[in-house]
A and B are shown apart, each in its own frame.
Chain A
């Protein structure tokens, strides 16, 4: 053996492309995957830009008339705005003279003069906005962008957390089996025996309202499915020969679990991640709808959809469309991207 090893080998190595370089090369060849990557990257940068206040910083300003029409429906009749305008002007009609019975009557004039001195710059309210306005005349486009920030952040972080918890516990339970597996299975069974909504509500009731709470709730309740799938994959792989071979060369349990098996089951986690992002964006909608979601002073796609419910009755569909369409685009792009990612990460393909 030494005869072979002491003889230095002329090193004519080429640069060795790693797993990620190869994956990136494969992904670049996948046109759909690249398109989805661009879409997702666009949404993510929008999220960051909105967080930094570069875009949609003034989303809460009431820039338009109530239910301002979108640009492409400029000519449409807007009964709500007209109604509100008429009720506002109605306030200026002088009321009947009550000075005889009203002790404050002599001061009215003075107060009116004083108020006149306060400068009120009434911004002219726009008749139409690019994607229309909501009840208070806020710009739906800006709301959508701001809402994207909240929703994507919640969906992505919660899904990441849930996937990490699910994969970690699932891997442990599937690989170790025995006592540890039993304990984790019991825990899982108890956890899943509680009705889902009840579990979410009880978490929400105990904790204060806020973004971090929603993320926590979703991650804590959403890991179960991932756990189950990853566990079964680990059970399957733990008895495979390549894991035995790793054991034979002296690889530790941790090494076998994470270095050997994890890359081979990562596609399950990845697909689950994408599905849970989608699911959690929707869950956030439900929570916000129930009033357990984002605080009242912020906006998410969920609150937008909740508002849209009443608007739809009076035919104002644009808020629903804006939130729904952007959600659909992101969700589709995201799941197709994870699909391509899975293929790209699999060295056996192509």
Chain B
């Protein structure tokens, strides 16, 4: 594409610094250049902190003015004119009309007090100079175009009345309302379920082709990139590591970092003993993809059963009006067995009740029925005092490592708290020693003991949360979306850690996730849930190769497969 046409967007020598507290500067984007050709999709890929979103926001000039400094040498040429040199007035005319954005969280990007029709019509009145009636008519057409059923009715809905996928469709409708030449999509599918993600990706691809616009697609997920992008820009720590066509990136990646990103994400087709991590690739100097020993998974008949759940159910009571209330079933009659040293994967879309199962069986929610047999004892029927003994044997690692650690506790306090509560250590000295040993086991330096959680990265925090559970030597560890919030490379490290710990201590895991590839990688058995119902339980290889139920098939079909070599 070096020939003929001038690209739609040229970013040249873009540098962005952030002014931190105390006057120091942080280089978020270091002198990068890339192009977005006309009528094509360019993906900006990188992990958190890579500067991908900052670069995109710089194009729209949406960076916070007080703290962000765009270096003087930077040029952002849109159809030949430099966006950085435009007046405030000028850039406002470009925003929303020639260049528009979709953000990650549709719910927080839409204004909750206006109907979706109002919000689509607003931009039409602003940029296209339509009258209100015309704008509403056009809004209805747009809603039809982005695939919202019954747009005539839905146009008067408020955002909360729509599902997450529909909200994102409304966001897309707003973005394409003025026929933009460039659409910036900032992680538009990250917050959505996998089936919805597929629909949105398909929609974006079809809109791109129909409107002949260009899309700058920002994501951390290479599998998604493979589905949608023509060109890929890989970023790390504010620098561009590699830019090439999608074909080249996926088939003959040159940079070790790109290679690492491609292989540290678990793949549904293989299951190595350990996931490769970025360090492996950087050390190997970017050797060809390593051939790895495969791990065998699955329950065997002679497995010792640690935990047996029979007909577990949970209803939530919703208040309706003053006196009425309505029961909503979050989990209906779930039954499964967990073997020692094995992993049960729990998959399902949001609202399927998978997290509720985890929380109910360790009594963080009160159950509405059923039995949880652990060592032959029904945990649900024990008194609070009797349950205390069992509490430490079933532990949980939560999704968000930023929220699950008390910000006012040092890591030492966090690790020593369970030891003191359950009186597992004799004296303070032993307590400290045990905590230190665990820190080392999960791969954190000793100094961590005196630090606060906010001084750690997401992956390190998740290690702390895992170490906290390990203090109690649990038999069962529930991982509730424990790696979902982490970057791919960190995700691989934490998954490896979990696997090592399982091999070492013969712990059993209940691994709850919406990420089917990760579940496939780590689970022996998989339980598929939908709307509180258990759809299917089977050994993980069986379920992925030969799903018995229609829903499972549909779910598996939506997994982004990455580059399929077209």
Listed in ascending order, the chain A residues whose CB lies under 8 Å from chain B are 1, 4-5, 7-9, 11-14, 16-17, 19, 240-242, 244-251, 255, 260, 263-264, 347-348, 350
Known: A1-B504, A5-B434, A248-B364; 16 extra A-B contacts, CB below 8 A, are A11-B432, A17-B450, A242-B406, A244-B364, A244-B404, A245-B396, A245-B405, A247-B364, A249-B418, A249-B421, A250-B392, A250-B418, A255-B421, A260-B406, A264-B406, A347-B454
Interface pair B395/A246, CB less than 8 Å apart: no
The reply to whether the CB of B335 lies closer than 8 angstroms to some CB of chain A is no
**Which B residues are in CB contact (< 8 Å) with A251?**
417, 421
Count contacts between A and B, CB distance < 8 Å.
93
Q: Which of B322-366 contact A (CB under 8 A)?
A: 359, 362, 364
**Which B residues are in CB contact (< 8 Å) with A263?**
406, 408
**Which A residues are in CB contact (< 8 Å) with B446?**
12
Interface pair A4/B437, CB less than 8 Å apart: yes
The reply to whether the CB of B509 lies closer than 8 angstroms to some CB of chain A is no
Minimum Cβ distance to chain A for residue B397 (Å)? 9
7 contacts between A and B (CB under 8 A): A5-B434, A240-B403, A242-B407, A249-B418, A250-B388, A250-B391, A263-B406
Interface pair B436/A9, CB less than 8 Å apart: yes
**Which B residues are in CB contact (< 8 Å) with A247?**
364
- Specify the main secondary structure of chain B where it touches its partner: helix
The reply to whether the CB of B127 lies closer than 8 angstroms to some CB of chain A is no
Minimum Cβ distance to chain A for residue B246 (Å)? 38
Q: Which of B417-469 contact A (CB under 8 A)?
A: 417-418, 421-422, 429, 432-434, 436-438, 440-441, 446, 449-450, 452, 454, 465, 468-469
Given contacts A8-B433, A11-B432, A347-B452, contact A249 B392 (CB under 8 A): yes
Given contacts A347-B408, A347-B454, contact A245 B465 (CB under 8 A): yes
For B446, the closest partner residue in chain A by CB is A12
Interface pair A241/B398, CB less than 8 Å apart: yes
Listed in ascending order, the chain B residues whose CB lies under 8 Å from chain A are 21-22, 359, 362, 364, 388, 391-392, 395-396, 398-400, 403-408, 410, 412, 417-418, 421-422, 429, 432-434, 436-438, 440-441, 446, 449-450, 452, 454, 465, 468-470, 472-473, 504-505
B407 partner, pick from A5, A9, A12, A348, beta carbons under 8 A = A348
Minimum Cβ distance to chain A for residue B222 (Å)? 29
**Which B residues are in CB contact (< 8 Å) with A8?**
433
Q: What 3 pairs across the A-B complex have the smallest Cβ distances?
A: A263-B408, A241-B404, A241-B403
Complex Cα gap A260–B505 (Å)? 30
Minimum Cβ distance to chain A for residue B452 (Å)? 4
A7 partner, pick from B437, B438, B454, beta carbons under 8 A = B437
**Which A residues are in CB contact (< 8 Å) with B417?**
246, 249, 251
Minimum Cβ distance to chain B for residue A179 (Å)? 15
Complex Cα gap A158–B32 (Å)? 60
For B452, the closest partner residue in chain A by CB is A347
Interface pair A249/B432, CB less than 8 Å apart: no
Interface pair A242/B441, CB less than 8 Å apart: no
**Which B residues are in CB contact (< 8 Å) with A1?**
470, 473, 504-505
